[in-house]
Amino acid sequence: MRIERVDSEALMLDWQLVHNEIIPTDPLSLEDVRERVGRNVLEVAYDGDVLVGCSTVRPPSAETSAVTVIARILPAYRRRGFGEVLYRRGLDRARQLGGDSVETIVLASNVDGLAFAASHGFVEIERYVLPGDTIPFITLRLADGLPR
C-alpha cells in the first residue's frame, strides 16, 4: 500500500473521487478540496497504482479539542486491511496534533464504515442532517480517548 499526502491537483482529484463516491449526499468540488488541503491533512491510498481510499485528519479547533480522523475505502477494496492502515496513520497524526480525543464522522448509510468505527471503540455522540438531505451524518467519539 502506498499513501500520498495530497499536495498536487492530481492527488486532489483522486481524494475528491473517493470522497464523492463514499459521501454522495455531499459531493465536493475541486475548489472545496483545495480549501480542505489548507486546513486538514488529506491523504490518498493506492494498492500499487490503483486508488483504494483516502483519509482526512482535522486538527483541534476553537470549537473542539478533538482531532477528527476519517478513513474512507472504496467498497471494492474493503476488508483487505487498507482502512486499518489509514486509521492507524490518522491516530498517529492525531497524537502529533495534540488533541485530547478522537472523533470520526460516517454517513448513516455507510454500514461498513459504521461497523469499522464500532469495532475500533467509537460510540455515537451526535447525528445531523445537512440542509436538503435526508441521510444523517453520525459523529462518533473514541470511547477511551486518544490512545497513546
Give residue 84's pLDDT: 96
pLDDT in tens, 73-131: 999 999 999 999 999 999 999 989 887 889 999 999 999 999 999 999 999 999 999 99
3-state class (DSSP) for residue 73: strand
Residues 11/4, Cβ–Cβ less than 8 Å:
yes
The full set of domains in the chain, from first to last, is 2-142 (3.40.630.30)
Residue 7 C-beta-side C-alpha neighbours within 13 Å: 3
Say what the pLDDT of residue 63 is. 82
Alpha-carbon distances of 63 from 66, 69, 72, 94, 145, rounded to whole Å: 9, 16, 24, 16, 17
| 131 vs 62 pLDDT, higher one | 131
* pLDDT score for 61: 83
